[in-house]
Amino acid sequence: MTGRLQTRVTRTVAAALAACSFAAPAAGQDPPSPAAGPPPIELTLNRMVDFALESSFRIQQVNLSIERTRLRLRAQRARLKSRVDLELRAPTLREQSEPRFDPQIGATRTFRENSQRYQGELSIRQPVVLFGYPTNGTISLNNRVHRFEEEDATGDIRTEYFNEYFVRYTQPLFQPNELKNDIEGAELDLEDSELDFYADVVDLIDEASSAYFDLFRTAYQQQIRSTHVARLEQALRVAQERAAADSSAALEVDQVNVELANAREQLQQSLNRFRLETAVLRTEFNLPQDADVTLQPVIELDPVPIDVERATEFALELTPRLRRLDIQLRESEIRVENTKGRGGVQVDFSVSYGTEKRDAVFGGLWQDTDNSFSLDLEANIPIWDWGERSARIQASEVGVRQTRLRIDQARLDIRTDIENEVRNVDEFQSRALTMQETLTLASSISQQSLERYEAGELSVLDLLQSVRREFDTANTSLETYLGWRRALLRLQELTFYDFERGMPLLDRYGIDFEATEPQ
C-alpha cells in the first residue's frame, strides 16, 4: 500500500471517529425538519426531576393529606376558644299517668300529669388556659329561662316562669387532660404528614433519577454502538482496498462485513429501545406527548469526597426516620396517660354562683331576685377490678419500651447503612476512574491496530478483536459509571443530602410547603 493511500485512510478514520465519538449529538434527536412543531425536550437530570415533581399524583395525594391534618389541627385548636351554645326545649308536653309516692298518706298513688314546658338556655363556655397551658377546666356564663304550665285535677291551670343567671366553673381532677392531649395529637399528626411529604418527595426524586439513568444507559450505548459501527466501516474500507490490491485478502472483507452487520443491528435495536423507553417516560412522568425527547449522555466523573461521620449526621438529622419514631414514642406516652385515667380515681369538681327568680308573671322575673349557689364534688374510687387497670397500664408501658428499642435499633441501622453505602460509593468511584483510563487506552490500541492493519502488519482477526475489546471496555466503563451514580443516589436517599453540590436535597430542588401553618 502506498504512503499516500495510508495517509488518506488514516485521516478518514480519524475524522469518522471524531464525528462518532462518545460526545456525539444527543441520542434520539432527528435532523430538524422544515415543519414547525413543539421544541424537543432536552432531558437532563434536573429537568427529569422537575417533571416528576410537577406532575406526580402521589405528591398531590400527600399534599391533600397535609391539608386534611392541618384542618383537623385547626379544629382542635378552636376548642381553646370561647363557644356559644343555645339549647331549646320547646315544647315539652306531658299528658300521662304515672305512679308516685304520696307522703301525706304514706302510699303510692297514680297521678295524672297534663303540662307544657318551654325552656331555653344560652351558654358561653371558655376552656381555662393558664400560662398557655390548657387545664381541662371550663368556666361558663349561663342564662336559663323556662315557662311551665300545668292543669290540675280540678281543671285549673297554673303558669310559672323561671329565670336564672349564673357562672359555673368545672374542673376534672386525677383525669387525663383530654383537650391538651387532643391538640398535641393533632400537631403530631400534622408533623407526621409533613414527614410523609418529604419522604415521598425524596422517593420520587430517586425514582426519577433512576429512570433518567436508565435512559442515559440506552442513549450512551447508542453512542458506543455508533462508534463501533464507525470503526468497522473504516476497517471495511481498508479491507476493500487491500482486497482490490490483493485478491487473497477477499475473505477479510467478508469477515468485517459480518461484524459490521451485527454492529448495525445492535445500533438499530438501541435506537428502538430509546424510543420505547421515552414513550414509557412520557406516560409515567406526564411528559408532553407531542414533543421529541433528546438526551445528551455525557459522563461527568468528578470525585466526591464523603466523610462517614458527616453523612451519618445528615442521616440522623435530615431524614424523617428518627423523628417519626419520636412521634410514635410521644403518642405511646399519651396512650399511657389516657390508660391511667380509665378505671382509676376520678373526681369532678363544680361550683356555680348566680341569681334566680321564679314568678307567675313573666315581667316579675327581674325583680327581687334571689342569689343561688351550688358546689358539687363527685368522686369515683374503684376498689377492686382483678388487676384489669394495672394490666392495661403495663401493656401501654410495654409499647413505650418497644418504641424506645426501635429508636436505638434505627440509630444502629442508619450508621451501618451509611458506612456500607459510603464504601460502595468509594469503590465504584475508584473503579469508574480506572475504567475511564482503560477506555482511553483501549481506544488508542484500536486506532493503532487499524493503522497497523492498514500497513499490513496486523491480521483482520486481530483488528476485529481489538475493536471488540474497545466496545466491551466502553460498555464496562458505562456500567461502572452508572454503578457509581446509583450508589450516590442510594446515599442521597439515606441522608437527604446532595454530596455533589454540598447542600440538603430538598433545598436543592426548592421543596417547601405552600400552605401556611393553621392558627
Q: Find the farthest-apart pair of alpha carbons in the chain and give their distance in angstroms, rounded.
A: 146
**Around Cβ 299, how many Cβ atoms within 10 Å?**
16
**Around Cβ 452, how many Cβ atoms within 10 Å?**
15
Asked if 124 and 205 sit in the same domain, the reply is no
Asked if 44 and 91 sit in the same domain, the reply is no
Q: Comparing 155 with 253, which gets the higher pLDDT? A: 253
Cα angle 341, 343, 345 (rounded to 5 degrees) comes to 70
Residue with cell 484500536: 446
340, part of any domain: no
Tell me: pLDDT of 21 over 50: no
Considering the chain, what is the average pLDDT of its residues?
Answer: 85
494, part of any domain: yes
Asked if 56 and 134 sit in the same domain, the reply is no
464, part of any domain: yes
pLDDT, average across residues 445-471: 90
pLDDT tens per residue across span 293-342: 888 999 988 999 999 999 999 999 999 999 999 999 999 999 999 999 88
Q: What percent of the chain has pLDDT over 70?
A: 90
Q: Comparing 290 with 11, which gets the higher pLDDT? A: 290
Asked if 317 and 447 sit in the same domain, the reply is yes
pLDDT, average across residues 81-92: 89
CB 414 within 8 A of CB 288: no
pLDDT, average across residues 444-459: 89
pLDDT tens per residue across span 33-70: 444 556 788 888 888 888 888 877 777 887 888 889 88
43, part of any domain: yes
Q: Which long-range contacts (CB under 8 A, 24 or more apart) does 242-245 make?
A: 242/1, 242/456, 245/1
pLDDT tens per residue across span 402-412: 999 999 999 99
Asked if 126 and 244 sit in the same domain, the reply is no
Grid coordinates given for 246: 490483493
419, part of any domain: yes
Grid coordinates given for 259: 461484524
pLDDT at 5: 33
Asked if 46 and 150 sit in the same domain, the reply is no
Tell me: pLDDT of 82 over 70: yes
- The helix (run of H) or strand (run of E) holding residue 150 is strand 133-151
342, part of any domain: no
Grid coordinates given for 213: 439513568
Dihedral of the CA atoms 104, 108, 110, 114 (nearest 10)?
60
| Confidence band, pLDDT 50/70/90 cuts, at residue 153 | low
- Work out the angle between the directed axes of helices 308-318 and 388-454 (0-180°, nearest 10): 130
pLDDT tens per residue across span 202-246: 999 999 999 999 999 999 999 999 999 999 999 899 888 888 887
Residue with cell 466503563: 477
pLDDT at 513: 53
Task: Give me the number of domains the chain comprises.
Answer: 2
Residue with cell 401501654: 396
Detail the DSSP E strand segments found in 174-308. 293-295
pLDDT, average across residues 129-152: 88
Q: Comparing C-alpha atoms, which of 200, 420, 213 is closest to residue 312?
A: 420
Nearest-angstrom CA–CA distance, 110 and 123: 37
475, part of any domain: yes
CB 361 within 8 A of CB 159: no
Strand partners, 119: 89, 146
Asked if 157 and 59 sit in the same domain, the reply is no
Q: What is the DSSP letter of 509?
A: T
Asked if 139 and 58 sit in the same domain, the reply is no
pLDDT at 517: 44
- Contacts of 138 by beta carbon, 8 Å cutoff, 6+ apart: 125, 126, 127, 128, 169, 170, 171
Asked if 119 and 146 sit in the same domain, the reply is yes
Asked if 409 and 464 sit in the same domain, the reply is yes
Domain that holds residue 271: 3-28+39-66+186-327+404-508
- The helix (run of H) or strand (run of E) holding residue 357 is strand 346-359
Q: Comparing C-alpha atoms, which of 154, 87, 167, 78 is closest to residue 121?
A: 87
pLDDT tens per residue across span 253-271: 888 899 999 999 999 999 9
Q: How far is CA 402 from CA 81, 108, 394, 399, in A?
A: 37, 62, 12, 5
Nearest-angstrom CA–CA distance, 265 and 507: 45
Chain mean position to CA 448: 54
214, part of any domain: yes
pLDDT at 99: 79
Tell me: pLDDT of 389 over 60: yes
Tell me: pLDDT of 114 over 50: yes
What helix, strand, coil percent values describe the chain, rounded to 5? 60, 20, 20
Asked if 214 and 299 sit in the same domain, the reply is yes
pLDDT, average across residues 411-416: 96
Q: What percent of the chain has pLDDT over 90?
A: 52
Residues shown for the chain: 519
| Confidence band, pLDDT 50/70/90 cuts, at residue 7 | very low
pLDDT at 141: 96
- Contacts of 389 by beta carbon, 8 Å cutoff, 6+ apart: 342, 343, 344, 382
Residue with cell 343561688: 372
Asked if 53 and 191 sit in the same domain, the reply is yes
CATH number of the domain that residue 301 is part of: 1.20.1600.10
pLDDT at 80: 87
pLDDT at 154: 67
pLDDT, average across residues 166-178: 92
